[in-house]
Chains A and B, each alone.
Chain A
Amino acid sequence: MKFYSHFIWKIIINNVYLPTESRTICMAKNNIFSKIFHLYYDGFRSMTLGKTLWAIILIKLFIIFAVLKVFFFPDFLKQHANGNEAEYVATQLLDIEH
């Protein structure tokens, strides 16, 4: 059992936690999608300041889309024009009721 867990751990180490230089050599054997995946995967994992910046971006996006957009910035025409935007804008700009 101990042997097997050691073996599995070694596989994980070799494939995921390989030093970057060695990993580059291994990656050369992989296809383009794997390379792209590892570029992002390894990049995100090794971030330091980037983690803070991503946290800020995600908080910002949450505030923008889940708070501001939902509660403060509805689509005005969608709410008021009932699907007939041209008519609504015409009423606004021409003050005429057909």
Chain B
Amino acid sequence: MNIKHNIMLENLLLNIDAGTIDWSRAQFALTAIYHWLFVPLTLGLAVIMGIVETNYYRTKDEFWKTAAKFWQKLFGINFAMGVATGIILEFEFGTNWSNYSWFVGDIFGAPLAVEGIVAFFMESTFVAVMYFGWQKVSPGFHLASTWLTGLGATISAWWILVANAWMQYPVGCEFNPDTMRNEMVSFAEVALSPFAISKFCHTVTSSWIIGAIFCVGVCCWYLLKKRHTKLAIESMKIGAGVGLVAALLAGATGHKSGMDVAQVQPMKLAAMEALYDGGTEQGLKLVEGIEVPYGLSIMATNDPKGYVPGINNLLNGYTTPDGKTEPSADEKIARGKKAIEALAAYRKAKAEGADEATITQHLTTINENMKYFGYGYVKDKADLVPPVWINFWAFRVMVGVGCLFILFFAAILAVTYRWPKFLFGKRDITTLPAWHYWLAILLIPLAYIGSECGWLVAEFGRQPWTIQDMLPTWASVSDLQSSSVIITFFIFLALFTTMLAVEINILLKQIKKGPEL
């Protein structure tokens, strides 16, 4: 049986067109990247408009009401453009990634369903009050609606990130060999997975940076044009304040995410650092050849002497200084094949009505090796290494942009508050040379690049897995013709580019128009 089955495993999934895998991945990446252009600005502007309206609520000054309406208008444009772009990702699951969708269905479906319900009810209710209710509800209720609109969007992000985090760190589930699905055994474990919490905190705080730099950029444009100066200065104070806090929080939550990755996805961390041979007291590379001593060990373990495995260690197996042994890739592949064989044998035995003892024996083998199930589909252990250069550079761009924004927002706050005074003399934020304002405007796309690079690290770093250690991409994909995926890839490219162009056009028109005084 084993020989026969090994031949079957050799042939396993060979009928899937290799182009289908690559194009399906490319299409998913394209859709996710475009979707992520809209989401962080929604989350970030939600905070800005909330604070601006809070100022109106506290002071009853009409200036703040005008400012709140202005930022809410820009929020609304972005919200309208971004809404439903995420649904396409769900279509792709059903068409391009059908094996994956079935394999995870119940677990992945629950957070997405909650997200849909919460998003629909919270956003459709409170967005309406925010835009239509200025004359119809009390200022307190209106303010609450504005904050709840942002909270609704943030809660939506929570559930999406819970689903994503589960793929990177599958918890709270049990594989059912009869239904061929992972079934949720603990909703709390899935929803409150530490990986999901870190991911959520890091993603949301980094989104606030985008909202903040967008706000500061728009304000700088007004200062450059010498229009709406009061709105520009006051909004800039808020934007820069939010940005500085967000950038510092993104750094702190990023460190926690780094520690989680070191625990759960050590290969991702090794790829991020291009670390081939790890060990204790590892330095953090700034670029190739220049490193911060002990930096990587601290980032991964909070201990300067902490052990960090490299790519070769992970492929060949290693023992940590405290005696913990990690099996080699070959051992994991062998156990993965054992799990697949046992699953096939279990299903055959069930179908043929075999005795209970045989079925139980297969079931025990499945459970013992399920942890490495996905490795059974790996033919060459080199396939377990994610693309190193993309991870290495995307990580550096993300961190570099984050650090730059800490300095940038601190500088903006110093200039707007003219502190320390001796540094500025008679100069203030309205009398800076034009290139200062242009710099702030040009930093808007840089923030997006940093944010997208964060997702590149998260998603390229977990290759080849769609579900960590459980299912590689080539076992997840549907048996489709690559041509159909290529067609939809280019349709999306055209559709999303048009939408982006329309959004930028409408946003620019409204920014040029300015607040309605």
Chain A residues near B (Cβ < 8 Å): 20-21, 24, 27, 35, 38-40, 42-44, 46, 49-50, 52-54, 56-57, 60-61, 63-64, 68-69, 72-77, 80, 85-86, 89-90, 92-96, 98
Contacts and interface: CB of A to CB of B under 8 A. Distances in A.
B20 to A, nearest CB: 11
Interface in B130-168: 131-133, 135-137
B479 A98 contact: no
B491 A49 contact: no
B434 interface: no
Contact of B347 (A21, A54, A80, A96): A96
Given A68-B488, A93-B99, A94-B347, A60 B132 contact: no
B65 interface: no
21 contacts: A21-B135, A24-B135, A39-B129, A43-B133, A49-B506, A52-B506, A53-B76, A53-B77, A56-B80, A60-B84, A60-B499, A64-B84, A72-B484, A73-B94, A76-B480, A80-B479, A86-B102, A86-B179, A92-B13, A94-B340, A98-B348
Given A35-B136, A57-B80, A72-B484, A43 B128 contact: yes
User: A-side binding surface: helix, strand, loop or mixed?
Assistant: helix
Nearest to B506: A52
A85 B100 CA distance: 12
Interface residues of B, number: 55
Nearest to A40: B128
B484 A57 contact: no
A94 B349 CA distance: 14
A56 B484 CA distance: 27
A94 B181 CA distance: 14
User: B-side binding surface: helix, strand, loop or mixed?
Assistant: helix
A66 to B, nearest CB: 13
Nearest to B137: A39
Contacts of B8: 94-96
A56 B502 contact: yes
Interface string B94-106: 1110110111000
A49 B74 CA distance: 11
B320 interface: no
